A and B are shown apart, each in its own frame.
Chain A
Amino acid sequence: MAPVDIQIGRRPGVNTDPATQGGYQDHPPRMGFFTDTSVCIGCKACEVACKEWNAIPEDGLVFTGMSMDNSQGLGASTWRHVAFIEQRKPIAARDPGVQHDGDGDFRWLMASDVCKHCTHAACLDVCPTGSLFRTEFGTVVVQEDICNGCGYCIPACPYGVIDQRKGDGRAWKCTLCYDRLSVGQEPACAKNCPTNSIQFGPLDELRERADARLARLHEAGVTEARLYGRDPHDGVGGDGAFFLLLDEPEVYGLPPDPVVTTRDLPSMWKHVAAAAVTLIGGALAAFAAGRRIS
């Protein structure tokens, strides 16, 4: 990585490869996750596998009362989080081959959330130490030996993924198992997913697979199915880890229209410059006025 990064004002929506943008000449294809929540059974094998493989410390064993969810959301020590949503919406009657009385008026959504490894990653942009970096796989990783715990990445993330580990002080998040990828292995969560809800592979392939899956579900009448983070023209330039959802994103705790905050940074700097000049003008005026008064 270049020591001086003066890249600013990249236009989101311009489909560029993040590893190439990050300065890699020769690199493997961009890797990612396609999490198909329509086949998630809420077993939490991904949460467990992630904790085990990455040696993440325990961060609270509590009963939340939020359906079967006890990890609540992504954070410094939860890199995969399975959301459980109980809804008064009919779906049970439509399960093929299962007998029910009536239509049923209850459905249970489960979804395994993870770092999105954005094309335009705000956490990476705002990191002042260069601890967060873009890997050759196009993923975003924190270097724990460099992070000084300034915490800037945390409110920068539009998804609420990265967080500071209490007692440790540094910021932590999913690495897309950078260590496993480097030796040709798939990430621990995908490896352990019993229903293939978590699919790992080159992002191009995953997008094709997701499109086919979505078409099949729509054809079968599951009109509420939609892809989230698939579009390279969205506010973050598309996610390296994207999802098939069965309801609005916010139902799962995801932002409906996330935008990388640094998209507005060039304009912010312009306003800062204008304000700085205003302050100089104010000071000059103050001394001009002061001369008249005294």
Chain B
Amino acid sequence: MTELQQATGSSSDVTKDGLRGVHPDRDALTGVATGKSSRLRGRQRDGAPTVPDAEFTSYYGLPVINSPVWSSPDIPGYLFLGGLAGAASLLGAGAQVTGRPALDRVSKTGAFAAGALSLVGLVHDLGRPSRFLNMLRVFKVTSPMSVGSWLLSAYVPLTGIAAASALSGRLPKIGTTATAASALLGPAVASYTAALISDTAVPAWHDGYPEMPFVFVGSGASAAGGLGLLAAPLSQSAPARAMAVFGVGTELASFERMERRIGMTAEPYSQGRAGMYVRASKVLAVVGLAGAVLGRRSRVASALSGAALLASSAATRWGIFHAGMQSAKDPKYTVIPQRERIKGKQ
């Protein structure tokens, strides 16, 4: 014992200057067994856990990832309108080729209005809307938003030309070229937004990436079909009706497949606000589909079915949007699947 220890009666190595003789600094050993903890180590050898195994752990229940700052109605609206526009461009081009002028005008006008509005939604949601053009500084395949910005920048003006030409009957050659180009870009516009939301760490969005584009084109087709049923006369709306049937079928089947495949990450799609929208979407889709098929000889029934299909498509996007938000806010959707992945690797 040193003199100091004898004087104070202390045998501790801890002094006001730190540990006696050493400044352990970054080499300090935390929780080092000093021989006193034999009982503890014995417990560990027994394999008894020191705390009961929880289903999953988190830091005070806080989310692991930061939630998207995207807001409603901007972003779900942008998803809905993009789908509507893309599919409507196909419907408009087909109507022109098959000589259905009313369906032609309705679809092309709808495609332009929806495309332009979706662009407005995208710009409005920016933290710095005045800097939208920075989207066109670079082109990156690794960023679906970059791809989408370029796509929309080309697509929306084309739909504008196609619609203007269809409505006014002027410049038919330019109108036809714009119609063809927008019909080529339309399917990309209707589907790329699926990659946009899936290319994130948001569990409900990312995990559903194989089916999401099919849900999106299905939803877009049923919306465009719905628009045709709503606004075009019965004599010309047959392709719109068929488009709606294809759309609803594709959307419902792909959605079902996604929910079954992704397991627990699918929970948010049937819970809370997202669940409400998804259920509403399915009911409206079935009602709209039934009305479109059974009421095909009634202008009123067709129009109401068309409105229901448009509402169904919108509800799908709002449901998917909120499901992503809900899955981002609850740490279990991040932690549990990753834990299971680790277990699977071992």
The residues of A with any CB-CB pair to B shorter than 8 Å are: 3-8, 36, 38-39, 64, 66, 69, 72-75, 83, 85, 87-91, 93-99, 103, 107, 122, 125-131, 146-152, 154-164, 168-171, 195-197, 199, 213, 216-217, 220-223, 246, 248, 250-258, 261-262, 264-265, 267-269, 271-280, 282-287, 289-291, 293-294
Contact = CB atoms under 8 A, between A and B. Distances in A.
Interface stretch (B240-248, B259-267, B280-288): B240-248
A208 to B, nearest CB: 14
Nearest to B26: A196
Contact of A220 (B32, B235, B341): B32
B69 A154 contact: yes
A65 B131 CA distance: 40
B277 to A, nearest CB: 19
Contact of A250 (B59, B91, B191): B59
A75 B221 CA distance: 39
Given A155-B202, A279-B191, A5 B142 contact: yes
A285 B86 CA distance: 17
A8 to B, nearest CB: 5
A151 B128 contact: no
Given A152-B145, A163-B69, A94 B40 contact: yes
Nearest to A171: B127
A290 B241 contact: yes
14 contacts: A5-B142, A64-B60, A90-B40, A129-B134, A148-B135, A149-B127, A155-B68, A250-B57, A261-B198, A269-B141, A275-B213, A289-B239, A290-B238, A290-B240
Given A151-B127, A250-B56, A289-B238, A255 B64 contact: yes
Given A220-B33, A272-B192, A287-B242, 18 more contacts: A3-B139, A5-B141, A7-B142, A88-B50, A94-B34, A146-B137, A148-B135, A154-B68, A157-B201, A159-B64, A221-B41, A258-B338, A265-B199, A271-B209, A276-B190, A282-B247, A286-B246, A290-B240
B52 to A, nearest CB: 10
Given A160-B65, A222-B32, A286-B94, A168 B142 contact: no
A272 B147 CA distance: 12
B72 interface: no
B30 A38 contact: yes
B112 interface: no
Contacts of B211: 271
Interface residues of B, number: 111
B258 to A, nearest CB: 11
B127 A170 contact: yes
A157 B220 contact: no
A97 B66 contact: no
Nearest to A254: B64
A162 B144 CA distance: 19
B12 interface: yes
A262 B142 contact: yes
Contact of A246 (B31, B34, B44, B139): B31
A24 B304 CA distance: 60
Interface string B182-195: 00001110111011
Given A257-B338, A261-B206, A271-B209, A91 B140 contact: no
B51 A87 contact: yes
Closest 8 CB pairs of A and B: A149-B127, A169-B127, A253-B59, A275-B213, A290-B239, A148-B131, A97-B13, A196-B26
A93 B14 contact: no
Given A155-B65, A275-B217, A248 B199 contact: no
Contacts of B252: none
A85 B59 contact: yes
B190 to A, nearest CB: 6
A103 B209 CA distance: 50
B115 to A, nearest CB: 15
A231 B256 CA distance: 37
Nearest to B186: A279
A277 to B, nearest CB: 7
Contacts of B126: 148-151, 169
A154 B125 CA distance: 14
A292 to B, nearest CB: 8
A25 B138 CA distance: 21
A103 B40 contact: yes
A277 B90 CA distance: 12
Interface string B303-345: 0000000000000000000001000100100110011011000
Among B20, B31, B67, max chain A CB count under 10 A is at B31
B91 A283 contact: yes
A97 B137 contact: no
B216 interface: yes
Given A149-B128, A155-B68, A283-B94, A262 B29 contact: no
B87 interface: yes
A111 to B, nearest CB: 10
Contacts of B28: 38-39, 195
